[in-house]
Amino acid sequence: MTTGPATRQRQADRSRETRRKLMKATVECLVELGWAGTTTTVVAERAGVSRGAQLHHFRTRGELVAAAVEHLGAESVEHLRERAERVNGSVVAVVELIADFYASDLFTAALELWVAARTDPDLRTVVVPLEARLGRETHRLAVELLGADESRPGVREAVQITLDLVRGLALANQLTDDGRRRERIVRHWARMLEESL
Amino acid sequence: MTTGPATRQRQADRSRETRRKLMKATVECLVELGWAGTTTTVVAERAGVSRGAQLHHFRTRGELVAAAVEHLGAESVEHLRERAERVNGSVVAVVELIADFYASDLFTAALELWVAARTDPDLRTVVVPLEARLGRETHRLAVELLGADESRPGVREAVQITLDLVRGLALANQLTDDGRRRERIVRHWARMLEESL
């Protein structure tokens, strides 16, 4: 008996769904338990996926976590783009969206991964290219949302300041809720950025 | 027999020296091995201090690491102040010094501690007040070095942007050497800051 196209389609759907569940559970574990608590066993249990199925998709913990952060990153970029299309397009509104994007679970999960990778050479080889890709994508998105013309002097630097600043602000939000201060700083910077663009 | 003042002085010196050795070894461990590798056993070995003496000074790993980061923070603030007195006092030079101050082992060690504290309630109770103290001290130092008059509108926000920006830049320096990009961004921001002050 051969498997027909409908069966193969169902298998592909199931496989994709398993991957998605594993990646979602991984990010939840990173946020709740940190890197040390995000073991493959804990993730498989939370996702309701057998260890065999997990190993079929991701051979190592590093591979799983990097895939999860990359997937969440791509999803978040799409989400940010959709929200940005709904705001009035003012520089202040866009910078606020970007700052909120960073002060989120994505940043927290990525931070756990980045910090673990610093002292783990195997993980580092996975995370360094991921950091570069996410950095490029976020920069491109910021340029697009801000309608920034990077050929003009100082504009590229102003966009980079925006991204490094919101990363710094996201860091200050890890142990305590820094939302009110962040809002004030973001508005102030957005007005300075507006003049630079 | 009673112990004379000279003996008590020698004991106090030895005790201070033991503390200093333990704190120095702790920061080195955090930078080289990360939080997970910074166990009290590893630190005592590296410092050449007996476990008994270590326990006399620091009852828990959290207490030891927080004291080490606070001590390094205070030392670094002094070091930064001395260096700032030797530069010409231009805003660009001061912002460069502050950015270098953050892109250092102090930041790396603190980052390991902050990230671990996020998912460890006991550690968090130690680190939250430490973060607040270090934040206040660095802000005060930045105001002083920049000669900023915070009663003028926008100046307080500009100083805070400086600090959050250099934290974001320090984060981007954890996995790869981001020194060249950092230098460019810092100079650009420093010129904008100069106009704000």
Task: Provide ipTM, 2 decimals.
Answer: 0.91
Q: Which residue of A has its CA nearest to B124?
A: A175
What are the chain A neighbours of B189 within 8 Å (beta carbons)? 157, 161
Tabulate helix, strand, coil % of chain A (nearest 5): 80, 0, 20
| Interchain pair B168, A167: CB under 8 A | yes
What residue has token string 């570069």?
A: A132
Q: How far lies B27's CA from each of A10, A30, B45, B72, B73, in Å? A: 53, 25, 14, 8, 11
Any idea where the domains of chain B sit in the sequence? 5-196
Residue of B nearest to A156 (CA): B185
The tens digit of pLDDT for each residue in B77-101 reads 888 888 888 877 789 999 999 999 8
The full length of chain B comes to 197
Chain A hits for B166, CB-CB cut-off 8 Å, are 168
pLDDT confidence of A77, banded at 50, 70, 90? Answer: confident
A192, closest residue in chain B (CA to CA): B192
Indicate which of A164, A191, A197 best probes the interface with B, i.e. most B CBs within 10 Å of its own CB.
A164
Query: For residue B184, what are the contacts with CB-CB under 8 A and spacing of at least 6?
Result: A157
* Per-residue model confidence as pLDDT tens digits over B98-156: 999 888 898 999 999 999 999 999 899 989 999 999 899 999 999 999 999 999 999 99
Give the model's confidence band at B1: pLDDT under 50 very low, under 70 low, under 90 confident, else very high: low
CATH of B5-196, picked from 1.10.1530.10, 3.90.700.10, 1.10.357.10, 3.40.605.10, is 1.10.357.10
Look at residue B82 in the predicted model and tell me its pLDDT: 87
Say if CB A103 and CB A170 are below 8 A apart: yes
A121: amino acid identity, one letter: P
Among the partner residues A119, A165, A192, nearest to B168 by beta-carbon distance: A165
- Going by the DSSP 8-state scheme, the letter that residue A4 receives in this structure is P
Which of A135, A165, A175 is closest, CB to CB, to B131? A175
